Amino acid sequence: MWRWLHPYAKPEATYRLVDKLLPWFAALTAVSLLVGMVWGLAFAPSDYQQGDSYRIIYIHVPSAIFSMGAYFGMAVMGVIALVWQIKTAEWSIPAIAPVGAAMTAIALFTGAIWGKPMWGTWWVWDARLTSELILLFLYVGVMALYYAFDDQRTGAKAAAILAIVGVVNLPIIHYSVEWWNTLHQGATITKFERPSIATSMLWPLLISLLGFMLLTISLVMMRFKNELLRHELHRPWAQRVLGTAEESH
């Protein structure tokens, strides 16, 4: 089956696939985010303890989960790049890392803004907050390593290794609220028992989660398309896509 997938045709085929899927993902992202945000902001009931400040949960939790989800995806691409030497997997690393870093940044500052009225402080060096900050540094490190070498493939390999090693941080983030006595509240939905949130608040949260998942994927796809074109700029298909192909004469 892999025989007829000519190695040079592959980035083009990948581009066509991503290009075809992106509009659907973007449209679904817009719909689910709109529904999730409006429902969460205007229709979900206030929290009996936190009042309306809890509404930050509708961006804080989804961005935090997909800051980790994107990292895991990047690490999987790192494994594929190292084991099977697939170039498109290498190119996906610089496409995923900035998006994941953005999600991590969103999780961090929405957490800080939520923490100020609830905890009385923007920041504490507690386990959950610190491990999430380390995730941001890991993303920055992966990007820095990727671009640190003259030979881009060496950079990709170094970045892939860091991405894979950094996966150890993910369970630390997730279990930090159980392993250590933190200021951060415990898990709301990602536990084995029933979620500790009322269904009227849970539904908009689930829709926001879907929205942020689709958003992460859409943003990665946008960047990945650019990465594919960047490496294939000298090939006719990329020039045709960019509309810069010379007329045959």
Residues of the shown chain interacting with another protein in the complex, contacts defined by CB under 8 A: 37, 41-46, 51-53, 55-56, 59-60, 63, 98-99, 102, 105-106, 109-110, 113-114, 116-117, 215, 219, 222-223, 225-226, 229-230, 233-234, 238-239, 242-246
Q: Residue 28 belongs to what H/E stretch?
A: helix 10-38
CB of 171 vs another protein, minimal distance in Å: 26
- What is the smallest separation between the CB atom of 244 and another protein, expressed in angstroms? 4
**239 Cβ partners below 8 Å, 6+ apart?**
233, 245, 246
**Quick one: tokens of 174?**
């997730």
- Shortest spacing between CB 103 and another protein, in angstroms: 9
Shortest distance, position 64 Cβ to another protein, whole Å: 12
Nearest approach, Cβ of 150 to another protein (angstroms)? Answer: 19
Q: What residues contact 46, with CB distance under 8 A and at least 6 apart?
A: 52, 54
Compute, in degrees rounded to 10, the torsion defined by CA atoms 160, 165, 169, 174.
80
Choice between 52 and 178, CB closer to another protein = 52
* Structure tokens belonging to residue 107: 């999780």
Crossing angle of helices 127-147 and 169-179, in 10° steps, is 170
* CB neighbourhood size of 66 (10 A): 26
CB nearer another protein, residue 98 or residue 175: 98
Distance CA 173, CA 136 (A): 12
Where b means 16+ CB within 10 Å and e means fewer, 161-173 reads ebbbebbebbebb
Kindly state the smallest distance separating residue 1's Cβ from another protein, in Å.
Answer: 32
* Cβ-based nearer residue to another protein, 29 or 176: 29
Whichever of 193 and 247 has its CB closer to another protein, that residue is: 247
Comparison of 6 and 249: residue with beta carbon closer to another protein: 249
Tokens 């089956």 -> residue: 1
C-beta closer to another protein: residue 72 or 109 = 109
